[in-house]
């Protein structure tokens, strides 16, 4: 356990760095994923095509490929940012594709009669979606969106390798490869760090499910 106690600062900074990447990607992917989902169910054909295109591209590209494509491809076009920004953006747009599909699944569970009823009392597309369909869909999407976000938290380990560094996974790499600490305690320490994040997220999800549950 020396590897934990002797390198406490490194572990804490790695944990916070991972948490930072996860925080940005969580908020970003929920917002972006919702926008794309709205596009995919909208009555406007162009938006539907764009939404479908987005999902096809980003859901079907391996995350590592996407990260390197952004980190080394975007600068060729003359746009430059830190690898931290590139990595977080990559994780966000990748996760948003999955969020979109989970949301769309939830929207599809709301029976068409609900939307028809809303339209018949004079609500527009926006109102129908925000006042009638999405609130009902929300309950159904908590478990699948939670799944997607927990997968994202684990995927954040890949972001560290795309030049970002300083995260939990890089901390483990430094301690084993360069500083020669033995593998097992170090990898255990890293696993505990990620479990702290994912188990907390799981507990919050369970809480959200209970809050949103409706007695039928």
Partner 1 sequence: MRTPRTALAAAVAVAALTLSACGGGSDDAAESGATPTKASEFEAGTTMAKLADAGKIKIGTKFDQPGFGNKSLSGAPEGFDVKIAEYVAGKLGIEPDGIQWVEAPSPQREDLLADGSVSMVAATYTINDKRKERVGFAGPYYVAGQQIMVNKDNDTIKGPEDLKANPDQKICSVTGSTPAENIRQYLAAPDQLVEFDVYDDCVTAMGNGQVAATTTDNVILLGYVDKEPEKLKLVGKQFTEEPYGIGYAKGDVKFCEFINEALTEASKDGSYEEAWTSTAGKVEGAETPKLPTLDSCG
Enumerate binding residues for partner 1 (CB under 8 A).
13, 68, 71-72, 75-76, 80, 82-84, 161-163, 165-166, 170, 173-174, 176-179
Count H helices, E strands: the chain? 10, 0
Give the pair of three-digit tokens for residue 69: 């494509």
Q: Rounded to whole angstroms, how far apart are CA atoms 79 and 142?
A: 36
CB of 75 vs partner 1, minimal distance in Å:
4
CB of 68 vs partner 1, minimal distance in Å:
8
CB of 161 vs partner 1, minimal distance in Å:
6
Q: 56 vs 179, which CB is nearer to partner 1?
A: 179
Q: 1 vs 77, which CB is nearer to partner 1?
A: 77
Residue bearing tokens 């339209």: 119
Q: 165 vs 189, which CB is nearer to partner 1?
A: 165
CB of 16 vs partner 1, minimal distance in Å:
12
Q: Rounded to whole angstroms, how far apart are CA atoms 8 and 134?
A: 44
Q: 66 vs 96, which CB is nearer to partner 1?
A: 66
Q: Rounded to whole angstroms, how far apart are CA atoms 25 and 178?
A: 30
The burial class, CB within 10 Å (0-12 / 13-18 / 19+), for 198 is middle
Q: Between the CA of residue 31 and those of 60, 64, 77, 136, 212, what are the distances in Å? A: 20, 22, 26, 18, 20
Q: Rounded to whole angstroms, how far apart are CA atoms 25 and 93?
A: 8
Give the pair of three-digit tokens for residue 68: 């390197």
Q: 75 vs 126, which CB is nearer to partner 1?
A: 75
Q: 147 vs 179, which CB is nearer to partner 1?
A: 179
CB of 12 vs partner 1, minimal distance in Å:
13
CB of 173 vs partner 1, minimal distance in Å:
4
Q: Rounded to whole angstroms, how far apart are CA atoms 33 and 196?
A: 25
Q: Rounded to whole angstroms, how far apart are CA atoms 94 and 87?
A: 11
């Amino acid at each position: 356990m020396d590897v934990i106690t002797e390198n406490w600062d490194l572990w804490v900074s790695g944990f916070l760095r991972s948490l930072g990447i996860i925080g940005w990607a969580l908020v970003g992917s929920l917002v972006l994923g919702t926008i794309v989902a709205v596009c995919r169910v909208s009555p406007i054909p162009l938006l539907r095509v764009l939404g479908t295109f987005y999902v096809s591209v980003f859901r079907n590209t391996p995350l590592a490929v996407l990260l390197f494509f952004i980190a080394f491809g975007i600068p060729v076009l003359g746009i430059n940012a830190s690898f931290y920004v590139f990595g977080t953006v990559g994780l966000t747009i990748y996760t948003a594709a999955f969020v979109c599909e989970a949301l769309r699944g939830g929207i599809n569970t709301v029976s068409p009669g609900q939307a028809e009823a809303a339209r018949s009392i004079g609500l527009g597309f926006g109102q129908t979606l925000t006042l009638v369909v999405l609130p009902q869909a929300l309950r159904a999407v908590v478990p699948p969106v939670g799944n997607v976000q927990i997968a994202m938290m684990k995927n954040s380990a890949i972001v560290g390798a795309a030049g970002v560094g300083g995260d939990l996974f890089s901390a483990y790499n430094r301690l084993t490869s360069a500083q020669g600490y033995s593998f097992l305690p170090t990898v255990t320490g890293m696993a505990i760090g990620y479990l702290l994040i994912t188990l907390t997220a799981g507990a919050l999800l369970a809480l959200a499910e209970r809050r949103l549950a409706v007695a039928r």
